[in-house]
Amino acid sequence: MPKILHVDPSLTRQKTVLAIKSIPIHAYDTPLATERAALGDGRLRRMLRDMMIIREFETMLAGFKGQGAYAGIKHIYAGPAHLSIGQEAVAVGSAAALDAGDHVFGSHRSHGEFIAKGLSAIQKLGGDALSQIMEGQAGGQLLRTLEGRLGTNDIRQRAEQFLLFGLLTEILMRSNGFNGGMGGSMHAFCPALGIYPNNAIVGGSAAIATGAALYKKLHGQGIAVANIGDGSTACGPVMEAMNLAGMGQLTNLWDEAYQGGLPVLFLFHNNFYAMGGQTNGETASWDRLSRLGAGFNADNMHAETVDGTNPLAVMDSVRRKRDLLIARRGPALIDAECYRYVGHSTTDASAYRTKEEIEAWRSVDAIAGFALSLKAEGILDDEAEAEMLAGVKQTIQQITALSVDPEASPPIDIKADPFAVGRLMFSDELATLPGGGALIAPAETCSRVTQLAKRSRVGKSPEGKKLSAMAAITIRDALFEPILHHFQHDPLLIAYGEENREWGGAFGVYRGLSEILPYHRLFNAPISEAATIASAVGYALEGGRVIVELMYTDFIGRAGDEIFNQMAKWQSMSGGVLRMPLVLRCSIGSKYGAQHSQDWTGLVTHIPGLKVVYPATPYDAKGLMASALAGNDPVVFFESQRLYDTTELFQPEGVPTDYYRIPLGTPDIKRAGKDVTILTIGPSLYKAIDAAETLATEHGIAAEIIDARSLVPFDYDLVLTSLAKTGRLLLVSEACERGSFLMTLAANIQRFGFKHLKAPVEVLGTPNWIVPGADLESSYFPQAHDILDIVCNRLIPDLARPATGDRLWDNVALARQGL
């Protein structure tokens, strides 16, 4: 779309061939003596020990799962245990090549990477940094527990105990786990050591790590690593992430200071199997995983296949990729071939593979093999090896005993504190704006700003005539203003989505911003709704702030996991360690039929962990957007395409020019009345106003109209107060009724305000069928006459008003038919 990228038919139509560079497979052949000279014996021995720690740790978990005991310590563990026994060299080799400040994002099978990255960081960080990290964990609580019970004067040894203890208590979901027991085995992490969320959704980490890499490129340092399995190559969002990480604009269009592909390494721990499905040969079309790199760019993403049973081969490769990433030549891909001897989980009977195959891989075991080669080189002897293993076992046993002990590691006492989980859903913090957001030109020079300065702030002329969208501030403009404000005052804020830059967002909310914002703060995303939102999650949890736009709410399906499981969950699953300052703008369409016109507010309100708003006036849109951008919680911000051109018709003073906030969660009375309450969500407000006009003039009935404005959170007090006055309530929105948020509101208001009710609460959404084409929409979305029908026939039946009958249906009969 940028005009400077000229698509020249004379060039693009030339006959030629695409040359694809070859991809190295198991190229590593550095003699151990050379590595020894460079690394020293201590580091090599430590790599062996680190692998032993991982294996012993997971052996302990296997014991708990399988026999309810390990080394005489009895414990029944009910949670998941996806073990990586056999794959340790990939975790240890890669972690050895990473800096303490590099961030790893893993999978359901990431205990190994967790331990390896932690141990590597412990070696690389100074004593002060380590004690700061340990003191910083839950106010030093974990450290105090250790100090009282396990002796050591060595800060690194203490930090190792801390690492293993915090991880195991997290796996056992104890209150002193790294994430307060909210993450557990598949989601444990510890950002202070560079260990970022491990993800139970296969491939989920790919795009999150990509967003973290974006943050690192813009505001941080080092690289992000997605530790994911071979099975995840078949996941769409993984493919999307690999494309996003190397988008052409990064090298072609972004400012010099930020040029180059994102510093993200897609490190595939290729154990040849998903669960029982075998990738190469069965479920994957690739023959070598590394071949995928060739599909993304001329560098093949620097892809190579390495021997994942040799920690040095992995370290060598990760180190080289890291150098490339730091040199802004990312992204990179490594296919590390390895094998898990154990089942996918402890219930896996290994029906999909032979004993011979498992034995063949055991014969090239990473730990035994590495110990042998160290011995052959004279770096280790049998005695030292036995001593090392005994030390490892002792450490794991000590940590295990401490972790299962309810005294040292108290379980979460939900009876004593029923809101222990609930409290973690939202931080409810408001950030202070640091100021100094980078612009390429002063905001005053933005054409949109000068245009808006000439517009009326109110939607009516002094004579009461409605002003057009060209003459007065609209919702589109009211959204633009706080977004611009935050861009000016929050240097960490970025925005992206499809057609966001030159086009100004599909519906023009950002129009003009490209004149003043550099590329890295406002860019066009690929048609990758999943990776767009997941990368925003990664950017936000690294400490950034981001607005992403979904062109149509109907595309939420393309990003279901990213919204429902990633954006919504990491604050709470982190036990309050992370924040998620992410605003997802979702535009609700119309006129384009069944796949472009759906109000899906009910889908997102159903998921705990998301704040949800849907303003219907410019005044509210501006104030709510400001609050969404100022808060540290994830917000899904719905906008109606039919309302973008709506001007301010309620606030007599119009939309203030200055910045202001409206707290999320507060409904608002848009028209006062005493006879019946009509609570609306979104554009239905205007139909209700029309209906109220008729009720007043033709029936002398005063309807009180309340605009919900926010759906989560929602303060019922205003509605209940209104209900106490009117005793009658109709709820109206443009979502199909079944499972909608209207139904939630109706059920709750009936529960909370039953004593006020003079008639059953009535609900008017859209029918439970597809949105028909443009010409039939008025029969589908509730109109003023539908509202009148229900008020006059059901809520106040004595009003003699002939029904139009459009929506006075027998809802019981319809439900019987699934409608």
Partner 1 sequence: MDIELVMPVLGVEIEEGQMRAWQKSEGDSVIQGEVIAVISTPKLDMDLESPATGVLKTIIVDEDEIAAVGAVLAIIEADEDDATD
Rule CB under 8 A: which of 618-647 touch partner 1? 644-645
Residue 247 CB-half CA count within 13 A: 21
**How far is the C-alpha of 317 from the C-alpha of 141, rounded, in Å?**
38
> By CB under 8 A, what part of segment 554-613 binds partner 1?
591
Residue 577: C-alpha distances to residues 102, 138, 188 (Å) = 18, 9, 12
Q: How far is CA 642 from the centre of its chain?
A: 29
Binds 454: which of partner 1, ligand TPP, none (CB < 5-8 Å by kind): partner 1
Strands 69-70 and 73-74: antiparallel
What mask of x and - would describe binding to partner 1 in positions 643 to 682, judged by CB under 8 A?
A: -xx-------------------------------------
The CA distances from residue 26 to 83, 290, 316, in Å, are 25, 11, 11
680 DSSP β-pair partners: 707, 732
Catalytic residue among 269, 596, 756, 785: 596
- Comparing CA positions, the residue from 190, 39, 182, 44 lying closest to residue 115 is 190
CA angle 374/376/381 to nearest 5° reads: 65
Residue 644: contacted member of partner 1, ligand TPP, none (CB under 5 to 8 Å, by partner type): partner 1
Q: How far is the CB of 128 from ligand TPP (least distance, A)?
A: 36
Alpha carbons 68 and 62: distance in angstroms, whole number: 9
Window 478-507: residues binding partner 1 (CB under 8 A): 503-504, 507
The helix-helix angle for 41-66 and 382-404 (nearest 10°) equals 40
Q: From the list ligand TPP, partner 1, none, which binds 474 (C-beta under 5 to 8 Å, kind-based)? A: partner 1
CB of 509 to partner 1, least distance (A): 9
CB of 360 to ligand TPP, least distance (A): 18
Considering only residues 444 to 473 of the shown chain, the ones binding partner 1 according to CB under 8 A are: 447, 451, 454, 468-471
Cβ neighbors of 63 (< 8 A, separation 6 or more) are 69, 70, 71
Sole binder of partner 1 in the list 187, 511, 622, 687 (CB under 8 A)? 511
Query: CB-wise, 476 or 579, nearer to partner 1?
Result: 476
To ligand TPP, the closest distance from the beta carbon of 504 in angstroms equals 34
Question: Both tokens of residue 90?
Answer: 């990939």
* CA pair distance 557, 561, nearest whole angstrom: 8
Q: In the bound complex, what is the minimum distance in angstroms from residue 591's beta carbon to partner 1?
A: 7
| 26 assigned to active site | no
The verdict on 326 binding partner 1 (CB under 8 A) reads: no
Cα separations (Å) of 777 from 19, 774, 803?
A: 53, 5, 20
Is 434 within 8 Å of 490 (Cβ atoms)?
yes
CB-CB contact of 625 with 482 (8 Å): yes
Total number of residues that touch partner 1 (CB under 8 A): 17
In the complex with partner 1, the residue whose CB is nearer, 210 or 641, is 641
Note whether 562 and 207 are within 8 A (CB): yes
Minimum distance of ligand TPP from residue 565's CB (angstroms)? 9
* The two three-digit tokens of residue 241, written as one number: 């992430």
Q: How far is the CB of 773 from partner 1 (least distance, A)?
A: 13
CB atoms inside a 10 Å sphere around CB 749:
22
Report what 275 binds from partner 1, ligand TPP, none; CB cut-off 5-8 Å by kind: ligand TPP
Residues that bind ligand TPP (CB under 6 A): 107-109, 200-202, 229-232, 269, 271, 273-275, 344
In what helix (H) or strand (E) does residue 267 lie, and over which residues does it extend?
strand 264-270
- The listed partner (partner 1, ligand TPP, none) that binds 109, CB under 5 to 8 Å by sort, is ligand TPP
Is residue 476 at the binding interface for partner 1, with CB under 8 A as the rule? Answer: yes
**Which residues of the chain form contacts with partner 1 (CB under 8 A)?**
447, 451, 454, 468-471, 474, 476, 503-504, 507-508, 511, 591, 644-645
Could you give the residue numbers annotated as active site? 596
